[in-house]
Structure 1
């Protein structure tokens, strides 16, 4: 898992049929000091995150199974919206 900040949305009127109804977000992975790390990612979201939210993102093959009945062509998904975090020394 990684912590990321939502920095934008993606709209695609034409896409894989199984992705219809699934929100796509652009996220920037961040470290524990809120500094950007890595490059931006497009992630699937079905829990309602929005721009400026800090979120938990997971990636890899298992993300295809967010709907048990139908594997999706995705490799990263928002699994939580962060309410707060505590980092040693703060």
Structure 2
């Protein structure tokens, strides 16, 4: 998992049927000191994260290991928000 900050939402006009109901967020990764890195990812949000929140992002096959994302074509998900920094 990697720490990231939610920067915005991604709106689509059409989704593959298995992705219906999945909210997509644009996240920007952070370094170990909490500084923004020039690396972005679009991630499926399964916890209701909001803009400017810090989150953990699961990437690759780990993103498909939870019930909400099993058998969905997702490479990145937000499985949790970070309560304290």
TM-score, shorter chain, exceeding 0.5: yes
Q: How many positions carry a matched residue from both structures?
A: 85
The question of whether the paired residues in 2 share the 8 Å contact of 1:65 and 1:72 is answered with no
Distance (Å, rounded) in 2 between the aligned partners of 1:64 and 1:9: 21
2:44 corresponds to which residue?
44
1:59 corresponds to which residue?
59
**Greater per-residue strand proportion:** 2
Distance (Å, rounded) in 1 between the aligned partners of 2:69 and 2:41: 25
Residue by residue over 1:42-87, the C-alpha shift from the partner in whole angstroms, topping out at 9 and shown as x without a partner, is 00001100100000111011312433685000101001100113xx
2:13 corresponds to which residue?
13
1:61 counterpart SS class? helix
Residue by residue over 1:27-46, the C-alpha shift from the partner in whole angstroms, topping out at 9 and shown as x without a partner, is 00001322122511000001
Give the TM-score taking structure 1 as reference length: 0.84
Distance (Å, rounded) in 1 between the aligned partners of 2:22 and 2:4: 19
Structure 1's consecutive aligned runs of 4 or more residues displaced over 4 angstroms after TM superposition are none
Indicate the structure (1 or 2) with the bigger Cα radius of gyration: 1
What CA RMSD, in Å, does the superposition of the two structures yield over aligned residues?
1.7
- Structure 2: where are the runs of 5+ without partners? none
